[in-house]
Structure 1
Amino acid sequence: MLLAMALTLWSSIFLIIKVGYCYVNLSRKKGTVASQSSTHEGAFLASRSIDGNKGQTYRECSHTALGHSIAWFQVDLGGEYSLESVKIYYRNDANWCPYRFRQFYLDVSNGSAGSTTTLTSQRKRCYKDNTTALATPPSVIDISCKETARYVIVETTYNAQEAIYLNLSGPVLEICEIEVYGCSVGRYGESCSRCHGCSTCDIISGACQCGVSFFGPNCSNACSVYCKGNLCNNVTGSCTNGCEIGYYKDKCKWTCNPGCKNGCNRNSGSCDNGCIDGKYGIECYDVCSVGCISNCERMTGTCMCKKGWQGEKCRECSPTFYGPSCEEECSPHCYNGTCYVNNGSCIDGCTRDYTGDKCTQGLYETSPEDHGTAIGAAVGASIFVVIAVVVGVVTLRLRRKRDDSSKAQKDERKESRIKYEKETTYVNRQDHSLPGKDHSLPDSHVHLGKRPANLKTQEIGLYEIMDSGNGENKTYENDVIAKTVAPVTNTSNDASEENGNVYLVINESQLNSSHYDELHVQN
């Protein structure tokens, strides 16, 4: 008996060394329990799969019942363990291929198969078979499964066509043996050595397996706050679920250009979703011109221009506009209509009749500086006119007063005037004949002096003295009393020249009725 036990022990050691596994087969440890969704004929129990017997015949395997919509098999390890791999031995009779094993999947979880459903956050999938008829998966399969879990679950919903032909339909699992390899949490490697610097580590390398938001050999590095869900790889720190909007690269520490619309490419940082309004370029760094009517083209920046702008990207002022925003229009009096962009000065000078840098001042217009002078002159002229009007009114009143006084002394004044004229102009009222002539004469003759002999006629005018008051400036006005007479030859002894004398015939009645002060001759 003792010999048999010793042989069994050494056989186990030999098999472990032979196969190369030094990880613990957790399926065989004390406290491990196997269970399944149903049991065929009540006799093919799940425990057959963890009894150490690797035979693959019908009688050596566990077997779920026919006619169900799902079949599952699970190993409860009794607590969390660091798993390395799972090895499954499936039924493989000489005349019975493992066609029911198609499309199974292997999950691990901290919840049992009965309390969890596939593809939820409570399960992690280690493997999914994609074999289709007529092919079959291998009857012995070794699956890598580096996870930390309590339950190992094999599950299927596949209904094999071969079984339907035999009236044996429904998903069925026929697992003969299952081996789950790993170590206790906090250990790693084939010898299940203790992890260094952390409570849990990679089952193969011993690298620390950090909790949420930490990574590195000793889990001392925090994941980037821009990792989605604050989750990153325990070893590298790469963000597991990608980056928050606006960040990129493995650890999401690079900032996307704010010109990107809805973030940027995780790897390159390019703006895959385009640019926000007003930006263009691969990474949306370039700014559309203010001269664009609306947004510019995403890659080139070309656009339709506002009034006053020109060019493909509307970055230049049109020739007839100037200013920082190209909103000021050159003067219409610029020659060719063009001006300098910076200050609006006309490039080719001004058109006719205009001057100035911007050709806005007419040649015959007063400048703004002259307006004050013009206004002062106008005010002065107005004051002068007012004064003149006042003086005129006063003068008129004085004249009327003088005229009234003159009327009272009319006869005396006329007589004295005639006497004065007799003295100065040789007026003769008594002699009624010219020397050598015998004809009737008017009341008076005015001797005008000697004139050239060939003068046939001469216009004589009476003028009124318009005295300014100081006796210096006099103006004479024509009167209708002027007469035209023929020259008369003087045969008197006192004639000293050959030229004849000219006389103006003036009736006494005309002289008396005139209001003029003096007589003057216009030669």
Structure 2
Amino acid sequence: MDLFCILVIVAVILTESVSIKYDCHCKTGCAETPENCTGYCAKSWSGPSCQRRNVALYQNETYQLGVYQTFSNILNKTVAGTSDKAVDGITNNVFLAGGCSHTKQVPEEHQTAFWTVILDQPRLIYKIRIYQRENQYLHARLNGFEVFVDKELCFKWINVTNPSFIVDIHCQNPMLGRNVTIAIPTPNSLGPVLTLCEVELYGCADFTFGGECDKICNCNDTEEVCNKITGDCAASGCAIGFTGLGCQDPCPKHTYGSMCASTCGNCAAGVSCDRFNGTCLNGCANGWGTVFCNQCIRGRYGSACEGVCGQCLNSEACNTTNGFCPNGCESGFTGNRCLECIGGFYGDDCNLKCGNCAEGKTCNSTSGICTGGCVGQFIPPMCSLCLGGYYGNTCEATCGKCQDGTPCDNITGICEDGCELGWSGEQCSECAGGWYGDSCESQCGLCYGNEACDPVDGACKNGCLEGVSGERCQGCKHGYYGAICNQKCNYCVNGVCLRESGECVLGCENRWTGENCNICGPGWFGQECNQMCGKCAAFEACDSKTGECPNGCRDGWNGTACNVCDSGYYGEDCRSRCGSCADHESCDSITGRCKNGCSVGWMPPMCTTCNDGYFGRACVNLCGHCLDGGPCNKVNGNCDLGCDSHWTGEQCEICEKGHYGKDCDRTCGKCNNHANCNSMTGRCSNGCLDGWSPPFCAACDDGFYGVECNTSCGRCKDFESCNKTTGVCSNGCQPGWTGGPCVVCDEGYAGPKCTKCGRCFSGEPCSEETGECPRGCSDGWEGGSCIECVPGRHGSNCNLTCPDGNHGSNCTSLCGHCKEGTICNKLNGTCPEGCQEMYKGPKCDQLSAEEIFEEEHEMITRVISIVIGVYIFLFALLVVILCVCCSNRYCKHGTADTGLT
């Protein structure tokens, strides 16, 4: 069995050794691990996994202070509230059911009350549950209660609120003891009474902990019982694969084992190892082996197993730390790691020979490259072949002039594809016949009699052929070309063409084209290429002899030569279309203008289509309000798609009924007989419907309001008009009226005109319909509404007699001229004792006839005196004016006569 198999077996054993020890307390459905019970918990056990136990249940020793309360229960049986009733397992809180412990209310005998249970053995006490009786009012009896474990305080109730029906408490710290006491140290308003229907002391089963005892201990020693509150394993520490307080946390990533103190190996993809045994379940990272992935596999070395071993002798493994081969290398390899070839060789198997490296150096043992370059004319980087142009064993011989510059044979120097022009021989090192010069690069001229020229300087010993010129008979005479210079150059610039082809190297004269300048250039035709082509279709060239266009003319052109504008086109290129001329005439072929004007709907001078928004002859008419601002028909102006809102008519130029204004967006008022208003001003020419105000009939007339202006305003202050929408009087109401619209009588007013109620008989109210007092007035008042004092009375209550000298209603009338020392009657103003002199009548308010005459005479005399005074004043004023005028005239004449200045 190899090491790997042993490690796998150990890993499996370690994994299976992590087991959970517990006792099942389920009635049914126990599992191998403490999970939720499928059935109920066994008696005295509770919690999600039935691991929490009530250690007080059925304990034999219980005590309580005070005389037991005996009473008849709901079955009319006499029962006693003894202390054992609090640990009998019955949590029913109905007191009369007889399941609660209880003491009598005897405050004169005892000032405290307590209850004690003695457990069968010392228990760790932490969490306690108390069930009270059902009467919520009596819950106050438990206020201030204390809990002791072996006479040490575990808990004290300090809340201001009463304990609830079920009271869950826990000690400040877990306490070990047997005696658990619940006490009321001082009496409350109900006396020292203690009623406990059930007391449960919770403790976790061994190997579980927590408030609900639902957490499992994870101690290294499976026999160790962990702390039942915190889960801490004080003796043996955490089980393999766990850490943290309570040993509940799995090992952090890349750690495992006891106390998670071991570091994982190099698992594949960087995942963590198994936290219990450290194995890499998905294999190792590249280069690593074993189940723990902590050693290099065979053939690898280095701290990260990144190195690959070399060719060690007999395929031995290299050192896993430094990669050295312990017993040397395979044949052809060298170095500590056997990764290098011996001198002069390279390749994976070190069996390839290096080339001719410079300075006698060896090549790279892997690639065979000569890093320092080559000797002689060898090709780098391998230095095994001659450079182009060289041959021989040492690549020092120069190749001849091989065809197309191809290299010669590396060994013999032969040009296998022949020689360059002018050279001959196997190695192309001699001039061929008809060539001369140091490099045989020059061709002999046209020597007389086709003789060969001198191979050194190319001279023709017996002269040139006829028509040939030049020192070496290599040039034609000016204006000629051809192999024997017997063809004349065409229309070349300056008459210069190539000797061989006649090509005009300096270009062609105007109107000619082609290499030899013997073809008419684009756009020209005729024998001398001096006639211009017309406008052929697709910009094709015309026939160079006839000028005809092979595929017709471009748009707008006509004629055999396509040099005349087509009907309906004009312009320099005949590409502009004529507009819509009147009577379908064609436009001027140069300017494009229509001589006799445009068709209707077209705009001069070019007779283009009317701009959007215009129509008619010369496009001077504005369109109406077509739908969505669209254009009208440019001939008749009709809006073919309809009108914008509030417009009508074929041309959408008329306001729709009920609208007016520049944009027909204003609504007509309430015109008489529902007639339409003026479409421009909005005025109703025949007046308004009743209640509406002219001339626009858009607002209510004064005195009316409402949607239809058919409701009359109320009694607004100062007879103002009300708000024409709401009817509210903005500045208030006339006296006697109230409310926003002033249509309701104010308090103390009544009747159709809301007149003020007077002083009705016996304080009765006046009639709401008429405002009058139905049974008359109180004393001192009169009138239908009882608002006037009876004659001879005045004051706010009409209870004051008129003062002397006054009489009548409210004492507003003055007495006449009664006899001195007497007063008039205060009811009717008569003078019972007679009148003063010159007065007469019952009230002594009339002058006698003599007195009237004297007063009239005196008045006339005064008027005459005033008139005479006015006349005298005017006469005096006239005299003064005349004197001033005469004086000015005298001054003027005097100055003229004397000559004084």
- Tell me the TM-score normalised to structure 2 length: 0.20
Q: Which has the higher contact order (CA 8 A, sep 6+)?
A: 1
Q: TM-score of the superposition, structure 1-length normalised?
A: 0.32
Report the structure, 1 or 2, having the larger helix content.
1
